[in-house]
Structure 1
Amino acid sequence: MDFSIPTEIQTTLDDLDAFIESEILPLQHADDNMRFFDHRREWARTDFDHDGVPREEWEELLREMRRRADAAGWLRLALPEEFGGRAASNLEMAIIREHLAHRGLGLHNDLQNESSIVGNFPTVLMMRDFGTPAQIAEWMPGFLDGTRRLAFGLTEPNHGSDATYLETTAVKDGDEWIINGMKRWNTGVHHATHDIIFARTSGDDGSPVGITAFLVPLADPGFVVEHYWWTFNMPSDHGEVSLTDVRVGDDAVFGRVDHGLELAQHFVHENRIRQAASSLGAAQHCIDEAVAYANQRVTWGKKLSINQGIQFPLVELHTEAAMLRQLIRETAWRLDQQHHMEVTHQVAMCNYRANRLACDAADRAMQTCGGMGYSRHMPFEHIYRHHRRYRITEGAEEIQMRKVAQHLFGFGRK
């Protein structure tokens, strides 16, 4: 068995690095754009006077990065060829995501805003696989040029992981649906044109059947963003949304009536394995930075790294990263070969362990680097604050551990 990176993927990594050096780093260093990445980053990015959402200058810089990446053929790498992409495999995307995160903080890959020169585009694939021909014709160009932007309205004030207990309802009224309810953690709603609202249309609480997804325009007068939740990781674009007698037509139904949770599950495996790879890359970056600091820091006339109390915790993390790297790549490869439900437990393993590793590595790097590690002049607090949320979002680690347990113990099998 050959465990080395395939030649064609290594060529892609080299070309990505060359693009970053020639196009992205000069943009990052122009016009004091470094304020978004150095010790000023949280303040430079956050509009504290307007609900803590991202500043327009920050988002404009991200748009210019994406424009350059798209012009160079990188942004849509993972998309099918019919949408201007190269249909990159899950294995290729996992290796790329790890590589970009391993480079550290920068305009090339800033996951605080889920932004990268190699985009993810889950909504494009959702529309391709669940949209009607009319919806695809109307929506797909807007997804790709940025004129159509979707928020994601699944979580509610009283319901998170228990998504089959939604209190938001949609009732048929002639040719229209009337939607009433509340949604929480609507990421990206500050600049979205529409929100994917999941509402119960039939069935009983706890049933996965009976929930429908709707494409709801934010311009509807009954759609109100009540406020934004300020989080550990700022800026924050997570809105609290109320819907009062919002009326939409049948053309707003996204996917099959009563089977909306299919959409929520559709991209979760690809998304989780890429997230795991990014967390692994961020963890390895923290480990490498801590090792470099320990090798140059002199205390009591000797390098800090001579102390086994410094060495051993980083050895443990480095070893776990090496083992996790192989599991992530094998799982990504299996996703390319098998039905995604056959490897769902492995995806869960990768995701929850990698997200935890990123937090552990950032914490240990802070400890190794002492006061400097704790300061905002090093990247660890930023990495910790971002990756800590991954242990909750995209399925809390307890939910993912339960999925592994179901496979291990045979629970839930038919």
Structure 2
Amino acid sequence: MSAFAESEERQELRKQVAKLASGFGREYFTDLARNGGKTTELWMAIAGAGYLGINVAEEYGGGGGGIGDVAAVCEELAAQGCPLLLMVVSPAICGTVIGRYGTDEQKQKWLPGICDGTGTMAFAITEPDAGTNTHNITTTARRDGDGWVLRGRKIWISGVDEAQNVLVVARTEDEKTGKLKPCLFVVPTDADGFEFNAIPMELVSPEKQFQVFIDDVRLPADALVGDENGGLAQLFAGLNPERIMAASFNTGLARYALDRAVAYAKEREVFNGPIGSHQAIAHPLAQSHIEIEMARLMTQKAAALYDAGDEMAAGEAANMAKYASAEAACDAADRAVQTHGGFGASQEYGVASLLVAARVGRIAPVSREMILNFVSMHSLGLPKSY
């Protein structure tokens, strides 16, 4: 088999996920979003088929695969019109961090629920006054007897209302230096002092964004994941998977937009022929196909490097994949609307809602500007700008 083709197992995985997701589809997704529903049925179907925790070790209820496998699941869901943000968060970020740094007891406690859908976990890092500058987060954890007390605020936290726990990035005081260092804590969403409010969004999705308030939340000692002195390495262990998953989310969204545009371009007839026969329609769609395939290839490269343990190369590739996929998704969504003409703005054809969804990909989980900063510094060796 060609080195540029995915394994037969991965291709079969994609086929089966697409088959499952097609039974739900875009109408299911948008109806839930507009009527306040949740994609619980789809989430549990993914879990029941063994796809939700496919990247988690088998001994904890997972499939024993890599980040490339769960990224494929994420992409195929999005390509069927059901892009799930919690796929990026729960199995990929939280599952990876706990699987790598958690004790065996912590893995037994949290990973099976992540895999079977009964213990979905959100991730909370961003803060109102820190934004992209993670070094400035102010959520703190202090020792209290054998446990911890957390206090702070988070914003733009996905799916808190659907999660049983949240992996919170806080800071503790280093006993030797007195400086604050980042640490990771699992916080139950029903804990006393833990509150969250939904942020009104133009984004059409059943998965909501939240502002989180952590007011002296008391946690047991085993809520701390990993070494208290592990520092940024433990935090960043989840960020490369996050970028790879975001890229898969974006390419799946782009594929869905392009598929809708191509289908319409074949059936809509103007001037005695289908509009797809005109280069003004055909060429932009062909360009999107090229952009999507390039983004997919870089995403697969990033996943392969990560699964091979090459963190440095994976970091560069993951950032590039996320950048390329967001650009491809924005272009594909815009071209899908343009191809549909006036119908592109209607709910009936379901492409207008893709504009906001795709545009968010240029901002989250890391902005295109910060990716360009990363590439400028680490790939080109240019001076740091911030």
1:10-31 deviation digits (Å, cap 9, x = unpaired)? 34444445x53xxx656x49xx
Query: Are 1:212 and 2:183 an aligned pair?
Result: yes
Aligned residues: 378
- Within 1, Cα distance between the matches of 2:67 and 2:169? 28
CA deviation after TM superposition for structure 1 residue 157, in Å = 1.4
1:229 paired residue number: 199
Q: Residue 312 and residue 259 in structure 1: after superposition, are their counterparts in 2 closer, same or farther (change >3 A)?
A: same
2:10 paired residue number: 9
CA deviation after TM superposition for structure 1 residue 161, in Å = 0.8
Conservation of the 8 A alpha-carbon contact between 1:212 and 1:257: yes
2:218 aligned residue (225, 234, 247): 247
CA deviation after TM superposition for structure 1 residue 2, in Å = 4.2
- Within 1, Cα distance between the matches of 2:260 and 2:109? 47
1:265-296 deviation digits (Å, cap 9, x = unpaired)? 11222332233133223323322332332232
2:34 aligned residue (33, 43, 60): 43
Task: Give 5+ residue unaligned stretches, structure 2.
Answer: none
Conservation of the 8 A alpha-carbon contact between 1:283 and 1:359: yes
Query: Are 1:187 and 2:168 an aligned pair?
Result: no
1:81 paired residue number: 58
Q: How does 1:156-167 map to 2 (within 5 A)?
A: 156-167=127-138
1:62 paired residue number: 42
1:181-234 deviation digits (Å, cap 9, x = unpaired)? 22212322223333333222226xxx9961222223334432232x21111224
Conservation of the 8 A alpha-carbon contact between 1:346 and 1:404: no
Q: Residue 112 and residue 332 in structure 1: after superposition, are their counterparts in 2 closer, same or farther (change >3 A)?
A: closer
The one-letter code sitting in structure 1 at the alignment partner of 2:61 is: G
- Within 2, Cα distance between the matches of 1:284 and 1:191? 27
| Comparing 58-67 and 389-398, the one that deviates more | 58-67
1:4-50 deviation digits (Å, cap 9, x = unpaired)? 34334334444445x53xxx656x49xxxx86346x45323x2xxxx
1:288-339 deviation digits (Å, cap 9, x = unpaired)? 3323322322223333223322222223222222333333333333333341
- Within 2, Cα distance between the matches of 1:245 and 1:167? 14
CA deviation after TM superposition for structure 1 residue 96, in Å = 5.1
Q: Residue 84 and residue 290 in structure 1: after superposition, are their counterparts in 2 closer, same or farther (change >3 A)?
A: same
SS at match of 1:239: strand
- Within 2, Cα distance between the matches of 1:374 and 1:208? 53
CA deviation after TM superposition for structure 1 residue 411, in Å = 5.2
User: Quick one: percent identity of the two aligned structures?
Assistant: 28
1:281 aligned residue (234, 243, 252): 252
Query: Are 1:294 and 2:286 an aligned pair?
Result: no
Task: Give 5+ residue unaligned stretches, structure 1.
Answer: 47-54
CA deviation after TM superposition for structure 1 residue 163, in Å = 1.0
Q: Residue 171 and residue 115 in structure 1: after superposition, are their counterparts in 2 closer, same or farther (change >3 A)?
A: closer
Q: How does 1:120-135 map to 2 (within 5 A)?
A: 120-135=91-106
Q: Residue 295 and residue 272 in structure 1: after superposition, are their counterparts in 2 closer, same or farther (change >3 A)?
A: same
CA deviation after TM superposition for structure 1 residue 258, in Å = 4.6
CA deviation after TM superposition for structure 1 residue 349, in Å = 0.7
TM-score normalised by structure 1 residue count = 0.79
2:363 aligned residue (392, 405, 409): 392
1:111 paired residue number: 83
The one-letter code sitting in structure 1 at the alignment partner of 2:28 is: F
The one-letter code sitting in structure 2 at the alignment partner of 1:42 is: A
- Within 2, Cα distance between the matches of 1:192 and 1:383? 25
- Within 2, Cα distance between the matches of 1:42 and 1:219? 24
Cα RMSD for the two superposed structures: 3.1
TM-score normalised by structure 2 residue count = 0.84
The one-letter code sitting in structure 2 at the alignment partner of 1:281 is: G
1:49 paired residue number: none
